[in-house]
Amino acid sequence: MQAIVTQNIRFPETREEFKKLFPDEEASLRFLFNKRWPKGFVCSYCNWLNAEQLPAKTITCSHCGHPTSITTNTVMHGTKKSLSQWLICIWWFTATEGGHSAKDLQRLLKLSSYQTAWTWLQKLRMAMSVSDNRQCRDTVEISSDTISLGGETRAKAPILAAAEIILPAGITGRIKMKSIGTLNSKSVGNFLNEHILPGSSLLIPDSEPFTTGELESFITVRSATVDRSRQIIKSFEIWLNKIHRGGVVAKHLQLYLDEFCFRSNAAMLPDSEAIFNLLLTGVIGNKPLSYKSLTSEAAKG
Ligand SMILES: [Zn+2]
């Protein structure tokens, strides 16, 4: 992966250092352009490669005439924010281990609207779920538990969790979690298909619905104690209450689970630059995303 900085320049540790590295919109555009199209501009419509194309916010394809914005088909699609603001936001969101609330972002960038900050962070969480998409593999523990959500209803939300066990040390590797409406063999089967590499060894509870799911693709070992993945769900609940103070409702829960898993998995990367680059792949990843859950809640960021 192309490094953010080259020889003799270390990855910025403060906001001031970051702003020195990207002093204006032009520098941010050049950086994002080269990150998105490292071998040259590729038309989003006809896939024509133009290696001579210079960085620009909107490029008209020399082959088919179709215009492509640097934000087309990314989580930045339709954004009113500058590329510089996006970059500083990505840096800020990955620069600390714990995470941030929308109020933190509102203060950081002096945004007048809380909804704008909230929507922006939801988009970054979507990018986290896109970039942190490798399946758990080898030996994986699976379990479920419920967490208490805030708000007037104090709803209980069922969660499925997977945790890789790295042998022989027995330490926890990658984790994935999913918010499910109901715990049953179907939701367990969907979770396994989405997040666990076939052929992996599963350590699963010796109880329903884990005894009836689609398990033929895996080697299963039943266990009365699956504390590791259950503990991860509890850790998520504590994190959610600490950072967001009970302000998350069930329909948005998955993006917060994705952020928690991203942060846990990214902690295994060598340094903060690698974490920044991982999130960036999700931000500029050429993958159409649904904004339905966002646009119904808040104005576009
Ligand atoms: Zn084209």
What confidence category does residue 297 fall into, taking pLDDT thresholds of 50, 70 and 90? very low
- Give the mean pLDDT of the chain: 87
User: Is 211 inside a domain boundary?
Assistant: yes
Distance 291 CA to ligand 1 centre (A): 25
Give the pLDDT confidence score for residue 7 in this predicted structure: 47
Range of the domain at 54: 39-70
- Asked whether residue 79 falls in the same domain as residue 124, the answer is yes
Residue 54 lies inside a defined structural domain of this protein:
yes
Residue 153 has a pLDDT of 63
246 & 301 share domain:
no
Q: Are 233 and 189 members of one domain?
A: yes
Residue 300's pLDDT band (cuts 50, 70, 90) = very low
Quick one: CA torsion of 21, 112, 33, 259, rounded to 10 degrees? 90
CA of 41 to the centre of ligand 1 (A): 10
Instruction: Give the Å distance between the CA of 233 and the centre of ligand 1.
Output: 46
pLDDT at 225: 76
> Tens digits of per-residue pLDDT, 55-110?
999 999 999 999 999 999 899 988 888 999 999 999 999 988 788 888 988 998 88
pLDDT > 90: percent of the chain: 61
Please check the confidence at residue 8 and state whether its pLDDT lies above 70: no
Instruction: Examine the fold and report which residue of 25, 51, 70 is the final residue of a domain before the chain moves on.
Output: 70
pLDDT at 211 over 70: yes
Query: What DSSP state is assigned to residue 251?
Result: G
Together in a domain, 220 and 277: no
User: How many A from CA of 287 to the centre of ligand 1?
Assistant: 17
Residue 200's CATH number: 3.30.420
Residues with Cβ < 8 Å from 94, sequence gap 6 or more? Answer: 266, 272, 275, 276, 279
Same domain, 82 and 171: no
Q: What is the pLDDT of residue 1?
A: 39
Residue 215 within a domain: yes
Contact between 142 and 160 under an 8 Å Cβ cutoff? The reply is yes
Same domain, 157 and 230: yes
pLDDT, one tens digit per residue, over 214-244 is: 788 888 888 777 789 999 999 999 999 888 8
The answer to whether residue 1 is domain-embedded is no
pLDDT in the model for residue 281: 94
Contacts for 246 with CB less than 8 Å, ≥ 6 apart:
149, 150, 151, 240
Those residues whose beta carbon sits under 5 angstroms from the ion ligand 1 are: 43, 45-46, 48, 61, 63-64, 66
- Give a yes or no: residue 89 inside a domain: yes
Distances (CA, A) of 145 to 156, 183, 231: 10, 9, 9
- 127 shares its domain with 144: no
High-pLDDT (> 70) share of the chain, %: 90
How many structural domains is the chain composed of? 3
Local confidence band at 207 (pLDDT 50, 70, 90 cut-offs): confident
| pLDDT at residue 213, as a whole number | 64
Predicted model pTM: 0.89
pLDDT greater at residue 151 or residue 176: 176
Same domain, 235 and 166: yes
Is residue 168 located within the same domain as residue 212?
yes
Residue 38, number of CB atoms within 10 A of its CB: 9
| Region for 262 from its dihedrals, namely left if φ exceeds 0, alpha if ψ lies in -120 to 50, beta otherwise | alpha
Residue 79 and residue 98 in one domain: yes
How close is the Cα of 42 to the center of ligand 1, in Å? 8
251 residue type, one letter:
K
Would you say residue 82 lies in a domain?
Answer: yes
pLDDT tens-place string over residues 258-287: 999 999 999 999 999 999 999 999 999 855
Residues 23 and 112 in one domain: yes
Say how many Å lie between the CA of residue 48 and the centre of ligand 1.
5
Strands of the chain (E only): list them: 41-42, 49-50, 58-60, 67-69, 139-148, 156-166, 171-179, 201-205, 219-223
Let me know whether 119 and 176 are in one domain. Answer: no
